[in-house]
Amino acid sequence: MTKKGDLEIEFNEVTSKLPKSLHPYIVKQPYSEYTYQNQSVWRYVMRLNLNYLRKYAHDSYIDGLKLTGISIDKIPRMEGMNRILKDIGWAAVAVDGFIPPNAFMAFQAHNVLVISSEIRTIDHIGYTPAPDIIHEAAGHAPIIANPEYAEYLRRFGEIGSKAISSQEDDKIFEAIRELSILKENPNSKEEEIAMATKKVEKIQSELSELSEMAKIRNLHWWSVEYGLIGDINNPKIYGAGLLSSIEESKDCLSEDIKKIPYSIEAAETNFDITTAQPHLFVTPTFSHLSYVLEKFANKMCVRVGGLSSVEKVINSKKLGTIQLSTGIQISSIFTRVISFDDKPIYIQSSSSTALANNNKELIGHGTNYHKDGFGSPVGKLEGINLAIEDMSPKDLEAYGIVEGKHTQLKFEGGIVVEGIIITGKRDIMGKIQLISFKDCTVTYNDEFLFKPEWGVFDMAVGKEVVSVFAGPADDNSFLQNFKLPKTNSQEIKYDDKSLQLHKLYFDVKKIRESGEIEINRLKIIYNEIIVIIQMNGLFYLKFMKFSLTPNLN
């Protein structure tokens, strides 16, 4: 058990490895708050979908329901799912609706499914604009029983969590989260939904170019959420959004929905999360998904590095990591880059910074030590072809880079570091990664970048920036990597009619569990429902049928 606030959440051997920065998103599944109507909604959707999906879903889905502990008859408990999921190396945690994309991907990278603790209302039984436990548990979980797909999902999280986002991404995330919450809540007013819809449309209309995160979210949407697989003329369903939607699982295979071969072009295709999709992408195999993902990753800052990548992480105004050619990693919110000949020659942060190697924080170089920021030159020394990182001990001595000696290092582009070398740090292979100076001055033309009175100057060594990515190198360096959503899911307030209906659902549940069909009592319940809802009872008749038994005529 792990204590989170006043709640105790059961962690297993998979979830116990999650970085603490992800813990704030985890909530205790409010199982006792699910009404009898909620349980009936689960049962109805699962039974109706299962009858259809036996024929039209990927073969892994039906088998996966059993392998992942998903019950058709009642909403699954996280604890029960986790006891079964751990056998295939996965786990599940409950969260409150949408969480930020980087955090979502980070959970996935650690083999953890995030499952919204909410469940759709009966008014949105066919399709819900908000994530819910039907979508997450009945949509995502069964397919991960397929090892090839499970590895794709994990790898997607690993790469996706490194994607750099923009300020616009934050705005659109918050706006869509707010809209989905309002649309799903039956207590919401029409004018509230209209205002939230306009807000989303306004932000979307003002978007400039797509960020890395926006593009990889598109890939995720058109595969993991709304993907089809197999022959493009006769595909099967594997995307969680389709598997969990009564309406879209049937509509998606019709000729009215355009089918497009899944490729890297899907990254440029935006989606609307609050409505049905007008087109879908079809992958021939699960392995093709991994091929497209790696092809996309080859264009990401995490693999490209260079000046443009540094500029992207600065513009994001979020925690990121810059890795130099020696392997040293600098994690912070970066504020400035000085460039020369289209290359970064100096990088600067102005807040807490941590240095790492191989994703492990360097001892003595955490955020407590570098609490006011960090700056360092990048590149080769002026007029010297041999980079500092490639110098032998004799080379270092020849160029005056020796402990206890006053030295001046002039870098290409005009950065000058002058001071007394105190010490240096090398990696396990002997490559020098960090040189520390006292009485140090760092200048660029006539500008002071570092002064002696500021203390010790720690210079990261590297001839180039080889990688830039979102988040810290070491998850433990920063306890608050991700921003928590500004809005929370709203508690549904049930009126007297709804509470009367819930009592009738309980009565139907008792009849089902007794094993004896009381026709007269069911007729009375049915008539009471019609009086309460004051509408045609055909839907409720069908609903009651699936609430009882699949064989009831």
DSSP string, 174-194: HHHHHHHHHHH-TT--HHHHH
Same domain, 201 and 221: yes
**For the packed helices 496-514 and 538-548, what is the interaxial angle rounded to 10 degrees?**
40
- Among residues 434, 455, 470, which one ends one of the domains? 470
pLDDT at 61 over 70: yes
- Asked if residue 491 is part of any domain, the answer here is no
Cβ atoms within 10 Å of 234's Cβ, excluding its own: 11
Same domain, 311 and 176: no
**Contact call for residues 197 and 178 (beta carbons, < 8 A):** no
Q: Which residue has better confidence, 98 or 449?
A: 449
Taking residues 478-485, report their average pLDDT: 67
Taking residues 533-549, report their average pLDDT: 56
pLDDT (0 to 100) of residue 5: 46
Same domain, 285 and 312: no
pLDDT at 548 over 70: no
Angstrom distances, CA of residue 359 to CA of 111, 322, 433, 479: 19, 12, 14, 15
Same domain, 269 and 380: no
Tokens of 33: 């708050």
pLDDT (0 to 100) of residue 3: 47
Q: How far is Cα 337 from Cα 468, in angstroms, rounded to an integer? A: 13
The string of pLDDT tens digits covering residues 458-476 is: 999 999 999 999 999 999 9
- Asked if residue 83 is part of any domain, the answer here is yes
pLDDT at 11 over 90: no
- Among residues 273, 293, 313, which one ends one of the domains? 293
DSSP string, 504-540: HHHHHHHHHHHT---HHHHHHHHHHHHHHH-S--HHH
Q: Which domain holds residue 510?
A: 496-548
pLDDT (0 to 100) of residue 550: 47
Number of domains in the chain: 3
Taking residues 228-237, report their average pLDDT: 96
Q: Would you place residue 543 in the very low, low, confident or very high pLDDT band (cuts 50, 70, 90)?
A: low
- Asked if residue 486 is part of any domain, the answer here is no
Same domain, 223 and 349: no
Q: Which residue has better confidence, 455 or 517?
A: 455
pLDDT at 488 over 70: no
Could you give the dihedral angle defined by the CA atoms of residues 52, 269, 220 and 42, in that order, rounded to the nearest 10 degrees?
Answer: -30
pLDDT at 314 over 90: yes
> Which residues touch 405 (CB under 8 Å, ≥6 apart)?
420, 421
Same domain, 285 and 339: no
- Asked if residue 479 is part of any domain, the answer here is no
Taking residues 130-138, report their average pLDDT: 85
Q: How far is Cα 111 from Cα 114, in angstroms, rounded to an integer? A: 10
pLDDT at 198 over 60: yes
CATH of the domain at 196: 1.10.800.10
Same domain, 456 and 518: no
Q: Would you give the distance in Å from CA 38 to the centre of its chain? A: 27
Instruction: State pTM to two decimals.
Output: 0.87
pLDDT (0 to 100) of residue 553: 38
pLDDT at 4 over 70: no
- Asked if residue 357 is part of any domain, the answer here is yes
Same domain, 331 and 289: no
Same domain, 358 and 411: yes
The string of pLDDT tens digits covering residues 338-368 is: 999 999 999 999 999 999 999 999 999 999 9
Q: Which residue has better confidence, 252 or 185?
A: 252
- Asked if residue 483 is part of any domain, the answer here is no
Tokens of 292: 């497209």
pLDDT at 135 over 70: yes
Same domain, 174 and 38: yes
Q: Would you place residue 544 in the very low, low, confident or very high pLDDT band (cuts 50, 70, 90)?
A: low
Q: How far is Cα 78 from Cα 483, in angstroms, rounded to an integer? A: 25
User: Which range is most confident: 202-206, 234-238, 525-529?
Assistant: 234-238
- Asked if residue 488 is part of any domain, the answer here is no
Same domain, 160 and 89: yes
Region for residue 455 given its phi and psi (left: phi exceeds 0; alpha: psi -120 to 50; beta: otherwise) = left
Q: First CA to last CA across the chain, in angstroms?
A: 46
- Among residues 293, 321, 344, which one ends one of the domains? 293
Same domain, 416 and 502: no
The string of pLDDT tens digits covering residues 499-511 is: 888 888 888 788 7
Q: H helices then E strands: how many in the chain?
A: 18, 22
- Asked if residue 298 is part of any domain, the answer here is no
